[in-house]
Amino acid sequence: MLYCHKAPSILTLPSTLFYRLIFFWACIAYTTSCGANEDETLAQKPTTIVVGYTEFPPFEFTDEEGNPSGIFLDLTRRILESEGIKAEYISLPINRLYLYLTQGKVHLWPGLSDVPALQNAVLETNVSPIAITLALFHTHLKPAVTDLSQLKDQRLIVVNGYTYGGLIYQISDPESEIIPLYASNHLSGLQMLMKDRGDYFLDYIEPIEELNKNQSFPDIVFSIVKKRQGAFVVSKLAPKPEELIRKLERGYTALLNSPNSQIDPIKLEERK
């Protein structure tokens, strides 16, 4: 004879088992709720981006108190704050800054456009907050030159790690017959030039002018080589890089058009 076995309803279960089931399902519900709240909190938490910079006064440098400072960094800070973006700032040698941008360890560099070492690794804004001037420095004993082709058999001092918009590759090419010498920074390059440890020094006018405020270099003159444009440079591995570019351009435009804007002295320019 076949018997039909009926599963007991929850009402017929022993009281101890009943309360254990209630507790079990309550724990699951609580855990699920906590997980959802945690996900929501993480989604709402603003991302902190890493802003890298190099020692390039007056645009970006570390001040005497160890704080990031300079015209370009101050502008960057104002834009990020206006867009509600949190940031931490880190000073790096230029070659390491390039490396960290390609690796995504640095998300944003208020720097220069069209750097060959960063090709295909970064995005750049269509606005250019600064323009800088590349020049060949020399003493009165040397003739003025404006093109690297005139430096055959000359000792040319360059700052280690700088690409000068790609000119470093021409300089280091043996066919150029230029003799490259490497300085650790702007001041070191000037000192080498003053001590006749080089014939010419390729560097940017703006940081040299800053040095000249505290030290006198009366025998040094220069010839302009070319202008370079600045840009906000964003690593493609940064969190939402396209969105960051849009926010930087939007914040820049808003500050530029603000009635109380103090950006004019920075000589902001639209990129051509």
Query: Tell me, what CATH number does 121's domain have?
Result: 3.40.190.10
Q: In the chain, how many domains are there? A: 2
CA separation for the pair 202, 157 (Å, rounded): 6
> What are the residues facing 40 on neighbouring strands?
none
The answer to whether position 13 is within a domain reads: no
Phi and psi at residue 243, to the nearest 5°:
-65, -40
User: Of 20-24, 186-190, 214-218, which has the strongest mean pLDDT?
Assistant: 186-190
Share of the chain above pLDDT 90, in %: 73
Amino acid at 114: D
Confidence of residue 23 (pLDDT cuts 50, 70, 90): low
DSSP string covering 206-256, please?
A: HHHHHHHHHS--TTEEEEEEEEEEEEEEEETTSSSHHHHHHHHHHHHHHHH
For residues 240-250, give the mean pLDDT: 98
Share of the chain above pLDDT 70, in %: 78
Contacts of 215 (CB under 8 A, 6+ apart): none
Q: Kindly tell me the number of DSSP H helices and DSSP E strands found in the chain.
A: 7, 13
Tokens 């039909």, residue?
Answer: 4
Sign of the dihedral defined by the CA atoms of residues 69, 71, 76, 81, in that order: positive
Q: In this structure, what DSSP letter does residue 183 have? A: E
| Residue 259 confidence (pLDDT) above 90 | no
The answer to whether position 78 is within a domain reads: yes
| Residue 264 confidence (pLDDT) above 90 | no
User: pLDDT of 34-61, one tens digit each?
Assistant: 544 444 433 445 679 999 999 999 999 9
- The verdict on 188 and 252 lying in the same domain is no
- The verdict on 156 and 78 lying in the same domain is no
Tokens 């959802």, residue?
Answer: 36
Contacts of 145 (CB under 8 A, 6+ apart): 136, 138, 151, 200, 223
| Residue 110 confidence (pLDDT) above 80 | yes
pLDDT of residue 190: 96
For the chain, how far is it from start to end, CA to CA, in angstroms? 95
Q: What distances in angstroms separate CA 268 from CA 39, 50, 71, 74, 241, one per listed residue? A: 41, 24, 11, 14, 23
| Residue 28 confidence (pLDDT) above 90 | no
Q: CA 181, 212, 184 angle in degrees (round to 5)?
A: 25
- The verdict on 138 and 219 lying in the same domain is yes
The answer to whether position 185 is within a domain reads: yes
pLDDT of residue 266: 41
- The verdict on 76 and 117 lying in the same domain is yes
- The verdict on 187 and 68 lying in the same domain is no
CA separation for the pair 125, 63 (Å, rounded): 27
Mean pLDDT of all residues belonging to the chain: 85
The answer to whether position 14 is within a domain reads: no
| Residue 101 confidence (pLDDT) above 70 | yes
- The verdict on 95 and 121 lying in the same domain is yes
Tokens 């600064």, residue?
Answer: 130
For residues 223-233, give the mean pLDDT: 95
Q: Are strands 155-159 and 220-235 parallel, antiparallel or unpaired?
A: unpaired
Nearest Cα residue to 268 out of 257, 256, 254: 256
The answer to whether position 5 is within a domain reads: no
Domain that holds residue 219: 132-228
The answer to whether position 32 is within a domain reads: no
| Residue 81 confidence (pLDDT) above 70 | yes
pLDDT of residue 218: 83
| Residue 21 confidence (pLDDT) above 70 | no
The answer to whether position 116 is within a domain reads: yes
Is pTM beyond 0.85 here?
no
Confidence of residue 217 (pLDDT cuts 50, 70, 90): confident
Q: Report which of residues 15 and 140 the model is more confident about.
A: 140
CA separation for the pair 64, 108 (Å, rounded): 23
pLDDT of residue 227: 94
User: pLDDT of 135-193, one tens digit each?
Assistant: 999 999 999 998 999 999 999 999 999 999 999 999 999 999 999 999 999 999 999 99
pLDDT of residue 79: 97
- The verdict on 66 and 190 lying in the same domain is no
The answer to whether position 207 is within a domain reads: yes
Nearest Cα residue to 225 out of 170, 146, 149: 146
- The verdict on 224 and 136 lying in the same domain is yes
pLDDT of residue 216: 84
- The verdict on 125 and 256 lying in the same domain is yes
